[in-house]
Amino acid sequence: MSQPASLHEANTQRTVGVPERATKAQPLIKSVTPIALVCVAVAAAAYFFAPMLSVIALLAAAFAVVARATVAHNVAKDLADMQQARASHAAGKKPAECAEFVFLRSGEMLARPHLFTNYALAQIQELHAWAKVEYEHA
């Protein structure tokens, strides 16, 4: 194997077998940037004519950002819980309860598909399909 010509070259070489996408976190919830941007634009436009309206618009923008962060945190936690339940099921720890939990929780999440990105929706649908088969066999 050849040695890199410089230290910079050694640090920039890609690791073989590790896809580049694996290092980036995938978003689970759709962005609220357009909503927040409209609120900020309304606040800027209304500042000179109705200062109270600008305050309300800025509060709405802050609320949208905080709400998205809260929902994203809950979705990430729910996905981790469902993955853990699937692993527990594979290990034989209360398989009926694990499959039921994943089936019911993923069903609730699939009732609101407009919130999720395609990546998160694919994960939830895959977990739901697995749990449906396992729940019916239990």
Q: Which residue has the tokens 């509060």?
A: 59
At residue 17, what are phi and psi to the nearest 5 degrees? 90, -5
- Please state, in angstroms and rounded to a whole number, the distance separating the CA atoms of residues 29 and 40: 21
C-alpha of 120 from chain center: 6
- Please state, in angstroms and rounded to a whole number, the distance separating the CA atoms of residues 76 and 104: 17
* pLDDT per residue as tens, the chain (138 positions): 455 554 444 444 444 444 444 446 888 999 999 999 999 999 999 999 999 999 999 999 999 999 999 999 999 999 999 999 999 988 888 888 999 999 999 999 999 999 999 999 999 999 999 999 988 876
For 134, residues 6+ apart whose C-beta sits below 8 A from its C-beta are 89, 95, 99, 102, 103
Q: Is the pTM of this model over 0.85?
A: no
Predicted pLDDT at 134:
86
